[in-house]
Structure 1
């Protein structure tokens, strides 16, 4: 399979890249700093195609999509700006133009529904203790863009994300964070996100993930 990965140098993205390459897939990674993937490039050679560019630049995304990937995965961070929503808007347009349908993104548990106040997102309710809502609001914009698109999308929504290894054992739930879920490692978040390319269980929905 040919896969396009955005955010390949990030805390979750590097694990997704590792899993996909280890499984023998061809991966195109759109990154601003290719040198951050030197270790993968030396190990996997032409199995990894690196495109230097910006995920908020339409020409760079178009270049990365030229290989005709079957799946696009975005593990981009919010970085305190509108990177996610701008990138997602461009992806939607360019993927639809090329009839590429499957998009999997990493979001945040803040945009899942509240258990105590189901009409609200978690970040709007007493379910969360976070004071700043900036990142959640950006993820919400991404969700709203995808919901209005024709893509087969999935938003993986982890709660607190400490560094840690892959166990492959975690709980997931459509639209809600698993009850009493308090954390999930970067490696296990990547594990579930990566596995969605061959799953139809969460098409066009958010999915909460936690231990």
Structure 2
């Protein structure tokens, strides 16, 4: 596949590029600072852009691609609307270029959780939700942008991210979330995103992923 990855210097983005290159895909990594790319990503074509909020500038990076993968999001607790704003630019560029398939990373609290989740899990979510409310609000608005778009989107919603290894063993629930799912590695989130890119059942759906 011909793949473009946004947010390629982030934890999930680096894994997306690494795994896609290893699988033999033709990969374009879109970054603002190419010096932040580690050496293992050298198998990808690097597209450095000073601004990611200009749809016209992004069009070249998405035109003719089979799928666009996005790890864009806030790097801290202050979201500043980054996921909504930058994903909106990606969507506009894709629609102008006629590129259809988009898979983005979001977060578990944005989607529905199992009604029978254990009480400790529900209490923990309330605490985390209060601390990271700006980030989740930004991701909620981002998903609303996806729903209004003409793209064939999928939003992948992980719980707490870790720097653990790629296992390829995790649970996914289309339109929901795995019961008692608490963590997942960034490497496995990337693995799930690449797998879901070719899954018709995941189109225009949120997908919960967790161990």
Report the TM-score range of the alignment, normalised by the length of the smaller protein.
0.7 to 0.9
Corresponding residue for residue 4 of structure 1: 4
Q: Quote the Cα distance in structure 1 between the aligned partners of 2:113 and 2:169.
A: 24
Which structure 2 segments of 5+ residues have no match?
117-121
Q: Quote the Cα distance in structure 2 between the aligned partners of 1:127 and 1:100.
A: 39
Q: Quote the Cα distance in structure 2 between the aligned partners of 1:160 and 1:107.
A: 11
Q: Quote the Cα distance in structure 2 between the aligned partners of 1:126 and 1:36.
A: 37
Corresponding residue for residue 192 of structure 2: 192
User: What secondary structure is seen at the aligned counterpart in 1 of 2:104?
Assistant: strand
Q: Quote the Cα distance in structure 1 between the aligned partners of 2:115 and 2:24.
A: 44
Displacement of 1:93 in angstroms is 1.9
Q: Quote the Cα distance in structure 2 between the aligned partners of 1:25 and 1:184.
A: 24
Q: Does 1:203 align with 2:195?
A: no
Displacement of 1:126 in angstroms is 5.5
Q: Quote the Cα distance in structure 2 between the aligned partners of 1:99 and 1:57.
A: 17
Q: Quote the Cα distance in structure 1 between the aligned partners of 2:105 and 2:166.
A: 17
Q: How many residues align?
A: 199
Which structure 1 segments of 5+ residues have no match?
118-124
Q: Quote the Cα distance in structure 2 between the aligned partners of 1:41 and 1:160.
A: 25
Corresponding residue for residue 90 of structure 1: 89
Displacement of 1:172 in angstroms is 1.0
Q: Quote the Cα distance in structure 2 between the aligned partners of 1:206 and 1:149.
A: 15
Corresponding residue for residue 119 of structure 2: none
Q: Does 1:105 align with 2:101?
A: no
- Give the 3 Å change call, closer, same or farther, for CA 41–135 of structure 1 in structure 2: closer
Q: Does 1:63 align with 2:60?
A: yes
Q: Does 1:183 align with 2:183?
A: yes
Residues 147 and 204, structure 1, Cα contact 8 Å, conserved in 2:
yes
Q: TM-score, normalised by structure 1?
A: 0.87
Displacement of 1:27 in angstroms is 0.9
Residues 111 and 139, structure 1, Cα contact 8 Å, conserved in 2:
yes
- Which stretch shows the higher mean deviation, 161-170 or 73-82? 73-82
